[in-house]
Structure 1
Amino acid sequence: MSRRIALTFLVLTTVLLVLAVVPLGVLMTARERVSFRDDQQAATRVIAAAAEEHLSDHRSAAAMDKELHAAAEAGDCAAVYDGSGRLVASTPCKAAQGEEADELVGRVLAGHEPEPPQNEGRLLAAEPAGDVRQPAGAVVLARSAAPLDARIAAIWGWSAGIGALGLAACVLLSVRLARWVSRPLSTLDAAAHRLGEGNLGERAAVDGGPPEVQRLATTFNTMAGRTEALVHGHRAVIADVSHQLRTPLAALRLRLDVLAAGARGETAAELAAAQVEIARLSRLVDGLLAVARAEQTTPRPVAVPVAEVVEERVAAWAPVAEERGVRLTAAAGPAPAAALGGGHLEQVLDNLIANALDAVDDGGRVTVARRVVAGRTAELRVVDDGPGMDAEAKEVAFHRFGNPEARGSGLGLAIVHRLVTVNGGTVRLEDTPGGGLTVVLELPLWTRDSTGPRSLPVLKER
């Protein structure tokens, strides 16, 4: 924005200066030329008047010689011609003689208005001595054009200087104006970006800049405050309710266990079903607590050895997979270090492997593969050959309770999405070739720049 404002003012000022300075310079140049020509014509007439007394009245040539001497001292060249065009007298300088001078004399003696030429850097002027119709002679005066050229150069030099000064002032003022307008907008944009990344305590500065921008910053701060209150309230409610539910659920489960120990027949079956529902409700409460903790996480990244974590979690889940008749393996691949919060990759893999084992039937297969993409991200794929998901289910898979047909709590993928995105990664769902579902994680690689604090991205529910 600053550049556009400055360029706009610069172009506008340039156009105005060209429209104002150039015509003024042309006008002043023309006036200087006319003034120079008038002075030269006046000096020529003075010599012509003295020459007329000598040529027409046959008086002494002293006055004519005096004027010629004065012209010579002034740096001019002059020559006096009689009525037949013969040279009568002249200054030591010969610039008023020659072909151009003879042509001027001929036109003056014929009663025509001469067109003064320029000869070797000098302007020639001719005047009749006596009556214009029947002149007794003619006077040619050659004057150096250097003073005229110097004055014209000074005019254009001053014009260019004024124009440059105007452009410099325009650039200075436009840059200051652009910064005055754009700096608070840039600050507001940066604050909005940080707020969008999850830093809910971010606020914009309201001092400086136009009043409209200050009002915008105030409105932004009000919106940010309300958003922070809503999000924190939402998280607090989930965490508090989940925490408060755990105690009565544990007590209820213990009572059901006591009752089931002595029950027989149909009563025992009903109590067993109740115990299953209580276990499911407990997993749901635990999932809500996990979501609340994940949403409140602002991790400081550490170097996480992806290969070691994958092999460790696969080994930890291997007994469960073996019990269900599912083959769980970790495919060979590179061993990069990802920049993640401590313990986050373990939680992510636990949720994904648990979901995959729940989805795969006896005899199925779950594979965890890894690779490095373009030297920038570590890619993990959790591949199963279960029933997969349709397009509609994929759209809401990362929502809390987004899939009503999920066998578990419906919170596992929401937790995964939150933990991945909070670390600057991405997660998506793809179909497994031949049937099944593939969860693709793209995690940032560990670099020297990965040690600083990270902002908190907002959970984008897809």
Structure 2
Amino acid sequence: MPGSSGTTVRGALRLTCPLYQVGTRVHRIWGALAGAGILAAVALVAFSPARWITRPLRTLGATTTQLAEGRLAPPPDATAGTPELRCLATAFTRTATRLQHLLKAQQAFASEASHQLKPPLTALRLRLENFEPHLDPRAHGSLEEAVGEVERLGRMVQGLLALARLENTATMPEPVDLDTVLAERAAMREPLAAGQYVALDITGPPVGPPAGHAWAIPSALEESVDNLLRFWRSSESHHDGTGLGLPIVRHLVDASGGTISLHPAPGTGLDARIRLRPVTGHRGDAH
């Protein structure tokens, strides 16, 4: 760089800068870019085989979810993937198909047996009741016990039919007006409760909105309330319980996406709590 004074050049300035540091940095950056490009190319090349290998696993996962919901359509493809995955898909399909056949056979047997038992039980009860005028008064107690056992068997058959209907029916939860259902069931059960010297009360917060709407499958709340009212379990070995009322309630509540818990009530009795999902998320759980 010339240094001048006017038109006269007095001297010159020379500045030297080595470029090996800049070159080294440029080479390092180009190496990193080349490595990233190679990795991207490898990932791109491996993407298709990876999807081909994992597709049967994804299919098996979706099929497992379907099987948990009680259906298997369509079955997983046993012709795709590695030999090990094809063998796994074949074994899974065979097991799931066998399980579905067993479940359908069990449901059909429970439903058919219940239907076949109803007429003989009804005829047996009528025959026992017709014996009453012709029996010695001292035998009336035994006759009443026999009629009671027939009635208990009839309730058990009704419970089996209800469970069979629940297993064979796949319905989705719908909005249910809790206040209306509770008021209707209490009104329907009032005469029976009064005959047993029991009062039915619907209680809740003294101030605030009504219970509102919750999600439940059709008729689930009505049947649950009916099975819980007047429900009782004797401490003695002989009692009128069939053991099917609470399983029916639990099945209905589970199918509705809710929960049920049973606790001893203060003093005596049973505290049964059913919690259902509210239709709107502004009031918390409806119970």
Q: Please, what TM-score do these two structures have when normalized by structure 1?
A: 0.51
- Structure 2 residue 260 is matched with structure 1 residue 442: no
Deviation at 1:266, TM superposition (A): 3.1
Partner in structure 1 of residue 142 of structure 2: 270
Partner in structure 1 of residue 215 of structure 2: 339
Q: Please, what TM-score do these two structures have when normalized by structure 2?
A: 0.79
Which whole-Å CA distance do the structure 2 matches of 1:288 and 1:167 have between them?
63
Partner in structure 1 of residue 247 of structure 2: 414
Which whole-Å CA distance do the structure 2 matches of 1:437 and 1:271 have between them?
32
Tell me, what secondary structure is at the counterpart of 2:81? coil
- Shift in CA distance, 421/204, structure 1 to aligned 2, threshold 3 Å: farther
Deviation at 1:207, TM superposition (A): 4.5
Identical aligned residues as a percent? 36
Q: Which moved more, 1:206-215 or 1:238-247?
A: 206-215
Partner in structure 1 of residue 41 of structure 2: 169
- Structure 2 residue 256 is matched with structure 1 residue 423: yes
Deviation at 1:200, TM superposition (A): 5.5
- Structure 2 residue 76 is matched with structure 1 residue 243: no
Partner in structure 2 of residue 368 of structure 1: none
Instruction: Give the aligned residue type for 1:421.
Output: D
Deviation at 1:269, TM superposition (A): 3.8
1:226 to 83, 98, 108: 98
Pair member with larger Rg: 1
Partner in structure 1 of residue 58 of structure 2: 186
1:350 to 206, 226, 235: 226
Deviation at 1:232, TM superposition (A): 1.2
Instruction: Give the aligned residue type for 1:407.
Output: D
- Structure 2 residue 151 is matched with structure 1 residue 279: yes
- Structure 2 residue 67 is matched with structure 1 residue 195: yes
Partner in structure 2 of residue 121 of structure 1: 17
Deviation at 1:160, TM superposition (A): 3.8
- Shift in CA distance, 246/201, structure 1 to aligned 2, threshold 3 Å: farther
Deviation at 1:158, TM superposition (A): 5.2
1:65-80 matches, cutoff 5 A:
none
1:17-416 matches, cutoff 5 A:
120-121=16-17, 156=28, 159-199=31-71, 203-333=75-205, 334-355=210-231, 358-359=232-233, 407-416=240-249
Instruction: Give the aligned residue type for 1:179.
Output: R
Tell me, what secondary structure is at the counterpart of 1:419? helix
- Shift in CA distance, 165/201, structure 1 to aligned 2, threshold 3 Å: closer
Tell me, what secondary structure is at the counterpart of 1:440? strand
Deviation at 1:121, TM superposition (A): 3.5
Which whole-Å CA distance do the structure 1 matches of 2:71 and 2:260 have between them?
21
Which whole-Å CA distance do the structure 2 matches of 1:434 and 1:267 have between them?
38
Which whole-Å CA distance do the structure 1 matches of 2:38 and 2:262 have between them?
62
Which whole-Å CA distance do the structure 1 matches of 2:178 and 2:241 have between them?
26
Which whole-Å CA distance do the structure 1 matches of 2:85 and 2:121 have between them?
53
Which whole-Å CA distance do the structure 1 matches of 2:58 and 2:224 have between them?
37
1:195·1:202 contact (CA, 8 Å) conserved in 2?
no
1:302·1:342 contact (CA, 8 Å) conserved in 2?
yes
